[in-house]
A = this chain, B = another copy of it.
């Protein structure tokens, strides 16, 4: 299933909503890292329903067509949790952020595991990029045709470090209190 499908399923696992509601969330709240329009959302809801992962009831509302309130079925809720638990580090950048966005659908212990896999992935990327950078000798001059390579690689390092630190902070926030020092 598509990344968008998992996003909708995750939101509907929290609480029922109309397609219009979901469109608002995916245009605004989640907007720092991702957007989706209603023209994508309505067909995707249809596909999720065909797959038995969501269900709708018709409610009172404005508009020429019936207003539909969708909710996740038991199978749908299980599907999001299974997707969150999948250990392979996701390739699609927005899928990474979506996992974090939805991670509290899992109990804290499992959430920590998910975040740890992601942190390890980014920490490994820091190593990889630093290796590439040290293969070139020092900072490259502005006149060099390799300036762009060097500059964007140094961004890559900055990015992966930031990701790692951010995930580390989230994990630290979830670890159970050590209780005492005795």
Contact = CB atoms under 8 A, between A and B. Distances in A.
Given A158-B162, A162-B158, A173-B139, A151 B108 contact: no
B155 A29 contact: no
A159 B156 contact: no
A48 interface: no
Interface stretch (A50-58, A60-68, A74-82, A99-107): A99-107
A177 interface: no
A142 B101 contact: no
Interface string A138-162: 0100111101110111111011011
A119 to B, nearest CB: 13
Contacts of A149: 29-30, 101
Interface of A: 14-15, 29-30, 32-33, 97, 100-104, 108, 111, 129, 139, 142-145, 147-149, 151-156, 158-159, 161-163, 165-166, 169-170, 173-174
